[in-house]
Amino acid sequence: MPATLAAQLEGVESSESLAIVDDTVFSGLTLRGVLDALPPALLRRTHAFCLRGVAESVASIARLCPVTVGVAAPGHILEDVSFINASGLVLRVGIRRRGRAPLAFFERPDWIRAWFPGRDREVIAACERLNALLEPGR
């Protein structure tokens, strides 16, 4: 069983400064969860970094600590902005569901239609073939 967040953060309060790195800030839930778990004194010495983020979500994180973003996509999550990871298209890691098995994006055909209009069937078929190679027997 993975260590709890509290266990992973043990001893960090004595750090002079703290950098937190997240590859993607989409809703901000993951990064906000880590920041909320920090002692307030350490939070004032924390800086967050992400490769890409949704501007509205990054703004909510910036109220907690400074944030440096590689690419900030303007707009609102799921209205103006969605991110697709290649691995999430074909591996069952893209859509995590509490208490249920994760899904790959190709298992949400309505999403694929929105992202690849007119080519959705072709994309789903290619993803299914790749998934069969990468996750055999699943």
Query: Are 105 and 93 a contacting pair, CB within 8 Å?
Result: no
Q: Which SS3 state, helix, strand or coil, does residue 27 take? A: coil
> Can you give the C-alpha Rg of the chain in angstroms?
18
Q: Which of the listed ranges 1-10, 83-92, 120-129 does the model predict with the highest average pLDDT?
A: 120-129
Which tens digit of pLDDT belongs to each residue from 6-35? 888 889 989 999 999 998 898 899 999 999
Residue 53's DSSP bridge partners are 25, 72
Q: Which SS3 state, helix, strand or coil, does residue 69 take? A: strand
In this predicted structure, what is the pLDDT of residue 115? 87
pTM, rounded to two decimals: 0.66
Q: What token pair was written down for 4?
A: 């709890």
> How confident is the model over 36-62, as a mean pLDDT?
93
In this predicted structure, what is the pLDDT of residue 80? 80
